[in-house]
Structure 1
Amino acid sequence: MQTTFPRLLLEHARARPTAAALREKEYGIWQTLTWAELATLVRHLACGLAERGLQRGEHLVVIGENRPRLYAAMLAAQSLGAVPVPLYQDAAATEYSFPLNNAEVRMAVVEDQEQVDKLLELRPTCPQLSHIWYDDPRGLRNYDEPGLQALDALIERGRAFDTNNRAFFDTEVGRAGPQDVAAMFFTSGTTGNPKGVVHTHFSLLDRAAAGKAFDRLTEHEEVLAYMPPAWIGQNIFSYAQWLACGYVVNCPESASTVTIDLKEIGPTYYFAPPRIFEGLLTSVMIRMEDAGRFKRWLFRHFMEVARQVGPDVLDDKPVGTLQRLSYGLGNVFIYGPLRNSLGLSRVRVAYTAGEAIGPDLFQFYRSIGINLKQLYGSTETAVFVCLQPDHEVKADTVGVPIEGVEIRVADSGEILVKSPGLLKGYYKNPEATAEVLTADGWYHTGDAGFIDAGGHLKIIDRAKDVGRLQGGPADGAMFAPKYVENKLKFFPFIKEAVAFGDRREKVCAFINIDFDAVGNWAERRNLPYAGYTDLAAKPEVLQLMRECVEKVNADLAADERLAGSQISRFLVLHKELDADDGELTRTRKVRRGYIAEKYQVLVDALYGGKAEQYIETAVTFEDGRTGSVAATLKIIDAAMRPLLKKAA
């Protein structure tokens, strides 16, 4: 798409000035911002930033939830040829230090007091950070810090500047071209410092347009923006595609009201990582367990009908008359109310990405009439590489290469991609850029996989994580840790898992229980508990986890290539893995190497044949305080299925 983000904004404002561009829920009421109002806001913000000295090519950090005025701040920066850099709003202050210094950031626009406090804390180590503007003034009335102001003050300065320089804004917007840098996204940094991924207007908008064409998106779509804007997945769906399509983006009041807001908006185009879909299903199953006997029977009966014929009905495949009638009844009594309860009754297209989604979970949503599909991409590819076409949806693939994309599989099994959406490079890191981008334009994804007979891409694991077992009966067998971990996380009782086994004779695992799901399970059995650590150590819970692990082992045993990856021993961790403790990235990816090092004593106990192990772990609370959690963890042996033949 040969244009820029600000030009698209102005085109929408000229063509549909009174149409809704953004909605924000405030004090329980949805407030609408039209395209014309948004264009005026961006104009004044851009003039205000220019008056304060923001230069072309300079970086502007933006931190907060999805908020219309933060979106406007990004557009304002782009209007001046500056580069917005969204950062994760839930990150600890120290996590901002590297991006701020790496990108030499002088100015930041943030949502509220929490983000202001974090940035003020960093001023000694980031002395160049001279200007901070905040959107929400609550709690900031008595702050008196140099360079700290409300966003309203910046808008007022911009309005005055615009009055005296009427041609300035339009001239600046006209100076930008499609190949200019439009945004920078910092990777989650599973190892070492995060890398700044540099994208142009063209790379982001070309992929947004390709996704638009693939799913026939229009300006009539409704989208709920509730994931972090710093995650490129959310940024593409609620920013790049928003401007490419001109649809309405709705911003929830808060994280705690997302479920309610989802029902009120009824999005037609929906995107969420697997953990969101897992959470929605877990809440459904918890409610059903608490329902009466007849309702439980009705639910199970019609869900079995849905499992058998639902995906075929959705894909317009032939279905028997009686089965179609039964499914129709199920739609009246179960599926329709369930979709409405989930807030997905109007969804035309739903996507999931980021991690593998369990086949059972995936088929559940499709069986009740939700057109859930998978996509494949990354920060470096502007998300859209492969998408699943309607009527060609498979649970074990991530779709076909879309317009403009070429894929090839290296001899090592690594997926290589050539696409108009590839990054321009890693900021100030030519060595890292050279590692992933070849001279002839191929991007090394780091993922291992293959193209199936139907042209669909199937991902196995991260290429660097795929290993081999050494010694023992499964000597030489392939070990794909993420595949094993995802198998475990398909159970609603398991929230996170970390598998170990590369160059070892057997596979062992750490497990995090899902506190809500297991808590509800325990309460229905009159099993008392005093918090997460106590619940995770209950013998009944350990037995529940053993049953889950042994079901996974049965599934793995049926796959000749992965039968050796059955889990021999496991333990249930005494605390939840947490990004604030460095165990997960901000996108909730497991930092396996860090965890193995941090919990080396537990890994040694698993492989050393111990029956239990004492551990004390430092933790960081939400308010920044630190403490510790200690427990003696039981180590459980799991039954394994015999290997039918030795893996090659």
Structure 2
Amino acid sequence: MRHEQPSNPAPGAAGDQNDHLIAILAANARAHGAEVAMRERDRGIWQETSWQAYLQQVLEAAAGLEQLGVAEHEKVLVVGDNRPALYFGMLGAIALRAIASPAYPDFTPEQLLGQLAREGVRFAIAEDQEQVDKLVALRQQHAQLEWIIYDDPRGLVGHEPEGVMAFTELLRRGRERLAAEPTLANALQNRPRADDVAILLHSSGTTGAPKGIPLKHRHVLFAVRSAAAAGYFDRGETHMAYMPIAWVGDFIFTIAAALALQFSVNIPEKQETVQRDLREIAPTVYFTSPRAWSTMLTRVQVGIAESTALKRWLYGRFMPLAIEIERARLKGREPSAGQRLMRALGELLVYGPIKDQLGLARAHHAYTAGEAIGEEIFLFFRALGLPLRQFYGQTENSALCAAQALDTVKLHTVGKPFPGMELKISDSGEILVRGGNVFDGYFDDEAATAESLKDGWLHTGDAGYLEDDGQLVVLGRVSEVVYTRARDRFIPTFIENQLKFSPYIKDVCVLGDGRDYLAALVAIDWEAVGHWAQEHGVAYTSFADLSQQSGVYDLLAGLMASVNARLPQGTRIHRFVNLHKEFDPDDGEVTRTRKLRRGVIAEHYADIIEAIYAGQSSVESIATITYETGESGVIKRQLAIRDVPAGSGVNA
């Protein structure tokens, strides 16, 4: 092995079996009982839940679930958008030493059935009628499913099918049981162990069925405390819970960190109101993906373009200045007195109002992770005054492994490991991780566990290297290292991320394994390209129509030429096609976290790929699409195939 990053002292006590999430929740209720632990916007009004009420509802849920038959190590499915009841239900299961197993709300019935069957699920907690209907229908194939507990009563209350119960009824039963058994509440608070599995999350399933990833109390608490020790977040943060509950980041932020550090968790009314609700709450800690930061930047740019002449002038005068200052800061140069004065004026006139509109006026911790973020996007938000930083983690290491420090931010790195965590690079270039945040193995999959955990080190499957100052650079997945026919080595995700730095490209799949040259399948960003089309007088009627406009092809060809200029000769993109639809998780082309399923894409677009490499200038594509209901349809479209011009192109 080589390039090892030394370990730092680990925070927190080790081996204390009473150090678990329910004990921490109970301690918060004792010490901060009347303080607000959670808010949910319901019909326009923020409904508050104190720490004492939080604990009470978790205990009532636990007592009710146990009465229904939930036993230790039982897998309890949780499906839906962010709702207090779903979090209370998850923690209620955890109090019983059962295991919450969340699923993405937009799972197809087939995907949901796979999770039910693999884990032998008998109990489910669902958000609303849509999820209940899916689960009820699946009982024909998964008869083990005994009880479905729902939160939203619309369309269900008074008309519940057999084995379907309201969450309020579950709490009522639990409340009665707690009253009848005076020692039960205390027993539930003390029943879990630090070595119990707290949550069963799942891999993205890019190469097959998703793998179950059990995280124990000690794993997630170690990760949170390590990150807090590194200044990643502080006690008493205000947090907005809007990311999918089946994603590790939501569990770490909304449950583990919120309990351990007494966060105030805020839940939007629905996904469509996140931006409005975010502005009202103005969180102090904020995390989202590079894709979401890019979308936010596009929204700002569109808003400025459609604003008054004065606002456009102010933006054009102050924003480049702030970006210039930030670029210099990242190179170690401090702004001059004159620049500081102009920066302060810009904060009043431009930067502050933009942050307020985005709901980030109070964010003193802002993070991005999951994939590389474009330099333009990264610089823009830091120029606004947001301390945006990159971090690195996986579900297998509780999402928190390394992050950039405030004073050592680099555009191309993800920072150094948190205290108590170790990183090193294997001789093959793979990133290895060790620490108390690393899981103990996959659910019911000894072969995958043996492959992933060796000699105490987690083999992440990511390729990377450590710089001289110990900062980690992530290149892509080791498994995705491929070669052209001429044996030029490349990592598709690295090139794809370079292309997606452009706001005009939502998704892209780079081809070239075993081929004479690289090519790309592109899914345009509907909003950004649509705005570009309006600005340039390009008429269109639909996504498919817009994607095939000659001007759009010219735009993307220039972007690709710019990326090519930064790549070795043998790994440059020669040809591309704009697809008539986005890559869709319901079609199996991407995971719910937007990771490409390359095998599925190769199958779905085989005719297009062959036309690209046959030198054709166009191809008729017939694509089958699958809806959430499981029904399918067909889209036919003539697609142009374009060569990427030589030269530097335009700034991507």
TM-score surpassing 0.5? yes
1:571 aligns with 2:577: yes
- In the other structure, the counterpart of 2:373 is 357
* Mean CA deviation greater in 310-319 or 447-456: 310-319
* Aligned counterparts, 1:139-158, within 5 A: 139-141=155-157, 143-158=159-174
Q: Superposition RMSD on alpha carbons, in Å?
A: 1.6
Aligned to 1:547: 558
Selected match of 2:268 from 252, 276, 280: 252
The DSSP-based 3-state class of the residue aligned with 2:603 is helix
1:619 is aligned, of 625, 637, 640, to 625
Report the AA paired with residue 616 of structure 2: K
- 1:585 partnered with 2:591: yes
Give the Cα separation in 1 of the matches to 2:466 and 2:647.
30
How far has the Cα of 1:321 moved from its partner?
Answer: 0.8
Task: For residues 317-372 of structure 1, give each alpha carbon's deviation from its aligned partner in whole angstroms, at most 9, with x where no partner exists.
Answer: 63211111122222222111111111111001111111111122111111111011
Q: How far 1:459 sits from its partner (Å)?
A: 0.5
Distance in 2 between the 1:314 and 1:454 partners? 15
> How far apart are 1:125 and its partner, in Å?
1.5
For this pair of structures, how many residues does the alignment match?
632
Residue number in structure 2 paired with 1:266? 282
8 A Cα contact 1:480 1:565, kept in partner: no
Counterpart for residue 340 of structure 1? 356
SS of the residue corresponding to residue 390 of structure 1 reads coil
**1:605 correspondence with 2:603:** no
For residue 494 of structure 2, what is the aligned residue in structure 1?
A: 483
Q: Give CA-to-partner distance per residue, 1:74-132, whole Å, 9 cap, x none.
A: 11111111111111111112111121111111001111011101111211121101100
Shift of residue 528 of structure 1? 2.1
Query: 1:165 corresponds to which residue?
Result: 181
Name the counterpart of 2:242: 226
- What is the SS of the residue equivalent to 1:628? strand
What is the CA distance between 1:216 and its match in structure 2? 6.0
Corresponding position: 1:34 with 2:34: no
The one-letter code matched in structure 2 to 1:550 is A
TM-score (ref. length: structure 1): 0.95
2:305 aligned with 1:289, yes or no? yes
Q: What secondary structure is seen at the aligned counterpart in 1 of 2:460?
A: strand
Alpha-carbon distance in structure 1 between the residues aligned to 2:297 and 2:67: 50
Q: What amino acid sits opposite 2:538 in the alignment?
A: L
The residue type paired with residue 416 of structure 2 is V
Which position in structure 2 is the counterpart of 1:187?
Answer: 203
**Cα shift at 1:217:** 3.3
Q: Is the 8 A contact 1:386 1:401 kept in 2?
A: yes
How big is the shift at 1:607?
1.1
Task: Give the counterpart of 1:456 among 455, 471, 480.
Answer: 471
| CA distance in structure 2 between the partners assigned to 1:254 and 1:627 by the alignment | 28
Higher relative contact order (CA 8 A, sep 6+): 2
The alignment partner of 1:425 has SS state of coil
1:94-109 paired onto structure 2 within 5 Å: 94-109=110-125
Secondary structure of residue in 1 paired with 2:574: strand
C-alpha contact 1:59 1:85 (8 A) present in aligned 2: yes
* CA deviation after TM superposition for structure 1 residue 490, in Å: 0.9
1:577 maps to a residue whose letter is F
**Aligned residue for 2:462?**
447
Do 1:92 and 1:580's aligned partners in 2 also have CA atoms closer than 8 Å? yes
Matches of 1:384 and 1:596, distance apart in 2? 33
Give the conservation status (yes or no) of the 8 Å contact 1:66–1:229.
yes
Q: Is the 8 A contact 2:381 2:388 kept in 1?
A: yes
Q: In structure 1, the residue corresponding to 2:149 is in which secondary structure?
A: strand
Task: Tell me by how many angstroms 1:641 deviates.
Answer: 4.8
How far has the Cα of 1:593 moved from its partner?
Answer: 2.1
Give the letter aligned to residue 605 of structure 1: A
Report what 2:548 is aligned to: 537
Matched, 1:112 2:112: no
After superposing the two structures, state which structure 1 stretch, 224-233 or 320-329, moved more.
Answer: 320-329
Matched, 1:200 2:246: no
Does structure 2 retain, via aligned residues, the 8 Å contact 1:566–1:640? no
Secondary structure at the aligned position of 2:315 is classed as helix
Query: In the aligned structure 2, how far is the partner of 1:434 from the partner of 1:98?
Result: 23
Q: Which one of the candidate residues 502, 505, 515 is aligned to 1:504?
A: 515
Of residues 24-33 and 315-324 in structure 1, the stretch that sits farther from structure 2 once superposed is 315-324
* Alpha-carbon separation, structure 2, partners of 1:114 and 1:94: 15
Normalised to the residue count of structure 2, the TM-score between the two structures is 0.94
Write the deviation string for residues 154-177 of structure 1: whole angstroms up to 9, x where unpaired.
111111111111212322332322
Contact 1:267 1:347 in 2 (8 A): yes
Is residue 229–residue 419 contact of structure 2 (8 Å, CA) maintained in 1?
no
CA shift in 2, pair 1:554/1:295, >3 Å: farther
Structure 1 CA distance for aligned equivalents of residues 242 and 171 of structure 2: 25
Cα pair distance change 1:316/1:566, threshold 3 Å: closer
Q: What is the CA distance between 1:469 and its match in structure 2?
A: 2.3
C-alpha displacement of 1:622: 4.8
Check the 8 A contact 1:219/1:248 in 2, yes or no.
no
CA shift for structure 1 position 65:
1.2
The equivalent of 2:66 in structure 1 is 50
1-side partners of 2:490 and 2:422: how far apart?
28
> Is residue 130–residue 146 contact of structure 1 (8 Å, CA) maintained in 2?
no
Partner secondary structure for residue 256 of structure 1: helix
Instruction: Tell me the percent identity.
Output: 40
Give the match for residue 646 of structure 1: none
Q: Note the residue ranges of structure 1 that are not aligned, 5 or more in a row.
A: 557-561, 643-648
* Separation (CA, whole Å) in 1 of partners of 2:301 and 2:286: 22
8 Å Cα contact 2:129/2:155 also seen in 1:
yes
Residues 237 and 271 of structure 1 are in contact (CA less than 8 Å); yes or no, is this contact kept in structure 2?
A: no
Are positions 1:379 and 2:390 aligned together? no
Query: 2-side partners of 1:384 and 1:443: how far apart?
Result: 14
Which range is displaced more, 418-427 or 246-255?
418-427
Q: What letter matches 1:483 in structure 2? A: F
Counterpart of 1:259, as a letter, is: Q
Amino acid at match of 1:627: G
The one-letter amino acid of 2:440's match is K
Shift, 1:392, TM fit: 0.8
Displacement of 1:415: 0.7
Once the two structures are TM-superposed, the CA of residue 316 in structure 1 deviates from its matched residue by 9.3
- Separation in 1, partners of 2:316, 2:478: 40
Which secondary structure state, in structure 1, belongs to the residue aligned with residue 580 of structure 2?
coil
Check 1:216–1:615 CA distance in 2 against 1; reply closer, same or farther (3 A cut). Answer: closer
Which residue of the partner structure matches residue 559 of structure 1?
Answer: none
Kept in 2: contact 1:316–1:391 (CA 8 A): no
- 2-structure distance, mates of 1:76, 1:32: 19
- The 3-state SS of whatever aligns with 1:528 is coil
Which residue of 1 is the match for residue 87 of structure 2? Answer: 71
User: In the alignment, which residue of structure 2 is the partner of 1:62?
Assistant: 78
Q: 1:502 Cα deviation (Å)?
A: 2.2
- Selected match of 2:255 from 224, 239, 255: 239
Work out whether residues 492 and 510 of structure 2, in 8 Å CA contact, stay in contact via their aligned partners in 1: yes
How far is the alpha carbon of 1:524 from its aligned partner?
Answer: 2.6
Q: For the residues of structure 1 that align with 2:31 and 2:523, how far apart are their CA atoms?
A: 51
1:515 is aligned to: 526
Contact 2:522 2:578 in 1 (8 A): yes
C-alpha deviation, 1:539, in angstroms: 1.2
Paired residue type of 1:454: D
Between 251-260 and 418-427, the greater mean CA deviation after superposition: 418-427
